[in-house]
A and B are shown apart, each in its own frame.
Chain A
């Protein structure tokens, strides 16, 4: 045998096109590669051509290849329906339709019906004709369903052989023997059988004599009485593993529609990263706790013979995929994935002093068994034991829980808690990572956590929470795990690209397209040489962003949230682009009115403003918004006869940091929904008309669906208030900062908004973007002052810090930092970039890879156009950064 270390050679064989005819014949001891293809991969001619190329390339590696196939997509379901059909005529009809599917594919392949397939089709017709009577219901059903794979493999053998790759058809039932297990009934014996697969040199030898490329069936095996049995859910992948173990293969390849396992479910977290290396236990844990790409049972056959598994995308064979193998070497501990399992029911049992009694716990668990409920997670305290139940049919649609609870209630207090979801973080050595999880744990601190479990195998950490919070929580936790360095996406050996960048439609942020990098670099260097620190704003970028948003045709009016940047040139440029202006203080209103034309609409949206602010604002042309009962309760006369906007709190907040969340009870913004009726009564009393509804949930949001939800919720609230004419869904349009993050998809946003608008055409739609318009347009230019080494840490000092740009200290915001003087030099140093302020928090960027810097180098801090200068302070009495406009 060849080496079988579980390592996949790094060269990429998928790029090569080789035909097996050209290769030298294989020796008897040549290694095996098992390749499994699912139903959609075997359903069309192009897919089979693809399979042929892949198989040939594996053969060219010097390996024997065993191909394991599923039935053509849809055929297993059709066979199941045929089994459920009592009418013979309809069964025969169904068998004919199934036969036709295979004929159609053969037609495309321009192949005659091969004998092997002909025999299968005839047998299927006979089974349809005879019905279950002779064999018995279950054995007959198993045999009927086995035909899906028997037919697809026969068809595949013909195609591969015909296209120059001589392929032997192997009956899986000759190789896989199902074992009898205790507690097995006839149904599980026949329809979800198990095989004990140990390396079998005799089988290896027998097949090696027959040829080099083989094809067989997934999903089926044979039991001791010779009857055909099925392997149940995940059966084809499991077959591949059984064969991998029997042949002690060099590897098992699972070819599917996605490149492997990801750090989270990509449907929930588009930024989830491909996991390139996992050990069996981790992969099994991830598969068990949510990932759908593999059935967890298909890994155990491979563990003992140490056969690695490789998951690959059939459509994108060039992608690395996920390798699952023995634990090879210690990596720095990292969380590998976060997943959620929904639909759990918890049973919490409370009793004082009983748990220590001998046999008490056994009696309690006996109740679960008696009611047919199987326990998954368990946690216990001195007085409480809480367990989780998976959402089985018995749980949902029988009175099992009611009966269980009433039996348990005789010995303890019972509480049934549902619907819950288990959020699991998986990674080897989880306990050693706890210190990095403080932010994540704090997030759980705001929720109802019903149960925490951590098993002794140290592979996972599970929190059970209310199911309703999960969809929003998972993406946030995923991001926090990366930010906290718990999910070490910086380790490129373990973590591949994001799902978004592999499969998403959005364009990812491309390095090199920023205005300051090429176009204006010299100008910036000159500005930096003259004096620093300086903010430099690039007006064409402001205009470009403005025009992007103007493409949102569903939006009737855009207001620039001026708090992001009040530079007069920017205000003027946006007025020219037709924007209105949203101001939060009299100062902002005055600054805006001083530079924009009379025609530009103004909004006054203060929070906890004093009475005189409203009095003054009502003397201007600004539309005034209120977000609490107090002003109408106490200063009703101020607003008499006025039209106002009501800012509501829809009860949840979103955003990239706790301090930029502006919705939810923990936030001081907005009127809670349940106070709206009271507000309206007050408004009526004072003759105040609510003309608009406004909600704003936070900033830095990159998920387009979010605005659709806010818009829809506002609209349904507005329906209760006759006077409303417009809805303002705020801003918060995210600007990606980390490399690899995707831009907000404006076209997708437009689609989301358009959908809501068509349901509520009678409301005008307003938005208030701020940061989106100006963040990328501004940079902070500074110069290197000095350096310091401290242990392994290297500090790079620049001449301004949190006095000019407080976002990193306040929000943990990440700003790209470059050495503009040495932009083209290799980034060999790892710096903590710090400012001159006497605060330990004065760090602009940590662990930045930069070229070796020298005193006087011009450094650039990107994305500083929003909330930069406006939030600066005279702290330490350092000179303030001057603002310069370029590209007018």
Chain B
């Protein structure tokens, strides 16, 4: 199958159509007059869509079509976006333009592109009214997306602790996530997302490639799932520092995890209230907390230590060894190691990772980047530099860590340049008040703190 298109020279990105039948959503896109790109999202054991939720379902599905389009749009970044089903109201267009611009900011930076002024969804001019969508009386239960890392497991345990009804849900077929989901003991829901095969073909033909706001895509999938199966809440586990920009590039904030940030959470949460269901809540349970507060909570969850991984490498094949879950090279490995260290016994921490990353001189550059020493924050979902510095400072004061190569280096080389009053761990463990957690789930916040 050859696609004659030169992806980087395309002129129009078209949202062709979306449909749903028998648990399968089909999302169709195209560049110029090229072949249709068909993505399929499979919802297992899907019930029939209840009549009173039909409108909400349609709205959520439409949003999914627009949001998931970002994976395809970025292959060509053509100057024009076309919608087969007519223009959008302002609220929807604002949401999508924000998402495409900020969610692709890192992608743009890496490829030396400037997307500002380039992304325009056709608008009807209809102002976004202050109308609420209908209240659907969705069942009081929560979809908790599982990512395989520590954060979602902290969220799960918090909800379990308050006796909340919840389902562990994940998109795709990562065996690591499946293992974590199983370990939660919750009912599970595994939704499959099949990218259009044509996208791989476009990649081979030299498409633009890079980071996309995958949390936004998963959020939109879960919104559809919440209406389909009946859940009143979607509780992500995005923490406070996800809102911080990674760097600034030609006047634009670049945040690797923008779709995990509070700005997106508010945009999508409000949009769901006005366009899908007044009683469908989209929130992050960990929003009030820093990474360090979360790692402290996670440090008590011993049963997950041999299954979880926050490593950025996509482990599609699982093995029994720590090295089969933790690459030990990426910023996520570095950060989670550092952030857990103050809260776990050193031998226990090292059994999780299978090695001591802080006693390995070759990892110095990676940890420097975390500490924002010599370098900007790495493009990964990792905590703020100040948190990393606080964790490192804590270790540097502990006898069992002091002699490790990178801790010793921190003491002799980096610490003298820092203001010790800014390095305390405790302030990071306090919760902020900023969050959108609905009343029903708020007791879970206390369980984390």
Chain A residues with a Cβ under 8 A of chain B: 343, 345, 389, 391, 395-402, 404-406, 408-409, 413-419, 466-468, 471, 673-674, 689, 691, 708, 712, 715-716, 719, 721-723, 725, 755-756, 759-760, 762
Contact = CB atoms under 8 A, between A and B. Distances in A.
Contact of A716 (B204, B315, B350): B315
By CB atoms of chain A within 10 A, which of B173, B200, B345, B403 has the most?
B345
Contacts of B350: 345, 418-419
A419 B347 contact: yes
A689 B313 CA distance: 23
B400 A414 contact: yes
Chain B CB within 10 A, most for which of A397, A419, A712, A760: A419
A391 B351 contact: yes
B316 interface: yes
B116 interface: no
A722 B203 contact: yes
Contacts of A413: 403
A419 B322 CA distance: 11
Which A-B residue pairs are the 7 nearest by beta carbons?
A: A722-B203, A405-B400, A405-B399, A415-B403, A759-B316, A409-B399, A722-B209
A862 B302 CA distance: 56
Contacts of B200: 762
Given A401-B347, A471-B321, A722-B204, A419 B354 contact: yes
Nearest to A691: B204
Contacts of B403: 413-416
A712 B317 contact: yes
Nearest to B202: A722
Given A417-B356, A723-B203, A756-B317, A395 B347 contact: yes
Interface of B: 173, 197, 200, 203-204, 206-207, 209, 302, 313-317, 321-323, 329, 345-348, 350-351, 354-356, 359, 398-404
Contact of B399 (A406, A417, A725, A759): A406
A721 B207 CA distance: 11
Contacts of B355: 419, 466-468
Nearest to A408: B399
A391 B359 contact: no
A257 to B, nearest CB: 21
A760 B174 CA distance: 12
B430 to A, nearest CB: 23
A389 B400 CA distance: 14
Given A405-B400, A708-B317, A762-B200, A417 B359 contact: yes
Given A467-B355, A716-B315, A723 B347 contact: no
Contact of A400 (B209, B302, B329, B345): B345
A762 B316 CA distance: 14
A397 B348 contact: yes
A401 B399 CA distance: 9
9 contacts: A345-B350, A401-B347, A402-B346, A406-B398, A406-B400, A414-B400, A415-B403, A418-B350, A708-B317
Nearest to A762: B200
B314 A722 contact: no
Given A414-B403, A715-B316, A723-B203, A395 B345 contact: yes
Contacts of B347: 343, 345, 389, 391, 395-396, 401, 416, 418-419
A712 B313 CA distance: 11
Contacts of B321: 468, 471
Contact of A396 (B204, B314, B323, B345): B345
A387 to B, nearest CB: 14
B345 A399 contact: yes
A158 B363 CA distance: 66
A719 B399 contact: no
Given A396-B347, A401-B400, A762-B200, A722 B356 contact: no
A405 B206 CA distance: 56
Nearest to A416: B400
Contacts of A723: 203-204, 206
B333 to A, nearest CB: 13
Contact of A719 (B197, B302, B314, B317): B314
B354 A468 contact: yes
Contact of A414 (B209, B316, B329, B399): B399
A760 B317 CA distance: 10
A391 B316 CA distance: 30
B345 A759 contact: no
A403 to B, nearest CB: 9
A397 B345 CA distance: 6
A724 B207 CA distance: 12
A401 B348 CA distance: 10
A583 B322 CA distance: 38
A762 B196 CA distance: 12
A712 B355 CA distance: 21
Contact of B346 (A416, A468, A722): A416
Given A402-B345, A404-B400, 19 more contacts: A345-B350, A396-B345, A397-B345, A401-B346, A401-B347, A405-B398, A405-B399, A406-B398, A406-B400, A415-B404, A416-B403, A417-B356, A467-B355, A468-B355, A674-B329, A712-B317, A722-B207, A723-B203, A755-B317
Contacts of A414: 399-400, 402-403
Contacts of B203: 722-723
Nearest to A398: B345
B310 to A, nearest CB: 16
**Residue among B209, B323, B346, B402 with the highest chain A CB neighbour number at 10 A:** B346
Given A406-B398, A468-B355, A418 B346 contact: yes
Nearest to A389: B347
Nearest to A708: B317
Most chain-B Cβ atoms within 10 A of its Cβ — which of A413, A418, A725? A418
Nearest to B327: A716
Contacts of B401: 416
A241 B88 CA distance: 83
B410 to A, nearest CB: 15
Contacts of A389: 347
A340 to B, nearest CB: 13
A468 B323 contact: yes
A414 to B, nearest CB: 5
Contacts of A402: 345-346, 398-400
Nearest to B209: A722
A691 B351 CA distance: 38
A760 B316 contact: yes
B10 to A, nearest CB: 16
Contacts of A716: 313-316
B185 to A, nearest CB: 18
B395 to A, nearest CB: 11
B258 to A, nearest CB: 20
Nearest to A705: B319
A376 to B, nearest CB: 14
B74 to A, nearest CB: 11
Contacts of A715: 316
Contacts of A415: 403-404
A397 B302 contact: yes
A719 B317 CA distance: 14
A763 to B, nearest CB: 9
A73 to B, nearest CB: 24
A673 B330 CA distance: 12
A787 to B, nearest CB: 53
A416 B399 CA distance: 9
Given A396-B348, A413-B403, A759 B317 contact: yes
Contacts of B354: 419, 467-468
Contacts of A725: 204
Contacts of A396: 345, 347-348, 351
A826 B226 CA distance: 80
A597 B173 CA distance: 43
B204 A343 contact: no
Contacts of A418: 346-347, 350-351, 356
Contacts of A673: 329
A389 B327 CA distance: 26
Contacts of B329: 673-674
